[in-house]
Amino acid sequence: MTLPDSAIKHLELKANEIRQDIIKMLLEAGSGHSAGPLGMADILTALYFHILHHNPHNPDLADRDRLVLSNGHICPVLYTTLAHSGYFPVSELKTLRKLGTRLQGHPHRGSLPGLETTSGPLGSGLSQSCGMAYVAKMDQKTWRVICLMSDGEQEAGNTWEAVMFAGKNKLDNLVGVIDRNNIQIDGFTEDIMPLEPLKDKYESFNWHVVDIDGHNFQSIHDAFDLAKTIHSKPTLILAHTTPGKGVSFMENKYEWHGKAPNKQEAEEALTQLRHIEEAIRHA
């Protein structure tokens, strides 16, 4: 199905709004991760405003789709998207990483509505997702599990135990999404621990793999739509994204993996994002 231009425009504006709030909350916190959250804003926007079956007024809806954030350090984008979806007030975003906040530096299940898991140790999320998807199969449920992962955590061994388990058990109700932004905290992934050929690796473990532009809403929609038609295999969406998307001095800079902007940097980032917003509105 081709998304109408009006729908794409709506999603683009919402993603830009989410990016602006990410910058504001990171500035307020004085710490946190910038590059990954900005890069994944389009995918999270597409999921919560178009793709997922969920209800912010009933977060424990029995037949809801389950979203697992394995790379918990990009939680600013998940928190912001949840707030904009109506799970909790947008004003609460300014409490990120503060003492007593519900918005911890990594997600904590039970602290906020809409969080399915506690995440932090990289490589754990896919195993958790496999367990959920396996239960859904056993109980003959129709809900699906979406697991967001970083490319850097593909270096973790327990990721590949889960990859094997999902392929062996034909978990076609599981969709993995790798944020293929090519950076991690110490540099570029291919310099630190080469991951390629990543697509071939997953396919060899009986996964169906789709390569997409992680900033193209039509491509995101098509990939998740396609996943519903794949039988007897889990699907991996290899989403190529730009870390720091929308902020020129952050884009493709691994130094911004785990760094928050100062006041001057935040003001410049917000100026750039507002210019992008105006361009979208007048397109």
pLDDT, tens digit (0-9, with 9 covering 90-100), for 2-30: 999 999 999 999 999 999 999 999 999 99
Arithmetic mean of pLDDT, 267-279: 98
Range of the domain at 76: 5-110+117-281
Pinpoint the alpha helices (H) of the chain: 5-29, 35-39, 41-46, 75-85, 125-138, 157-168, 189-192, 198-204, 217-227, 263-281
Please check the confidence at residue 121 and state whether its pLDDT lies above 90.
no
The vertex-240 CA angle with 237 and 246, nearest 5°, equals 130
Mean pLDDT of the chain: 97
pLDDT, tens digit (0-9, with 9 covering 90-100), for 193-208: 999 999 999 999 999 9
Backbone Cα Rg of the chain = 18
Arithmetic mean of pLDDT, 91-111: 96
Arithmetic mean of pLDDT, 54-76: 97
Query: What is the spatial distance between Cα 250 and Cα 44, in angstroms, rounded to a whole number?
Result: 19
Q: What is the band of 120 on the pLDDT scale with cuts at 50, 70, 90?
A: confident
Arithmetic mean of pLDDT, 186-195: 96
Could you tell me the strand order of the sheet in which 208-213 lies? 66-69, 145-150, 174-180, 235-240, 208-213
Residue in the structure block whose two tokens are 């995440």:
119
Q: Number of folded domains in the chain?
A: 1
pLDDT, tens digit (0-9, with 9 covering 90-100), for 220-271: 999 999 999 999 999 999 999 999 999 999 999 999 999 999 999 999 999 9
Residue 210 bridge partners (DSSP):
237
Arithmetic mean of pLDDT, 136-161: 97
Query: What is the spatial distance between Cα 194 and Cα 199, in angstroms, rounded to a whole number?
Result: 13
Arithmetic mean of pLDDT, 89-94: 98
pTM of structure: 0.97
**CATH number for 177:** 3.40.50.970
Please check the confidence at residue 1 and state whether its pLDDT lies above 90.
no
Q: How many residues does the chain have?
A: 283
- Percent of the chain whose predicted confidence (pLDDT) is above 70: 100
* pLDDT for the residue 193: 96
* pLDDT for the residue 24: 98
* pLDDT for the residue 159: 97
Q: Are 248 and 73 in contact (CB under 8 A)?
A: no
Pick from 18, 22, 114: nearest CA to 68: 114
Q: What is the DSSP letter of 109?
A: B
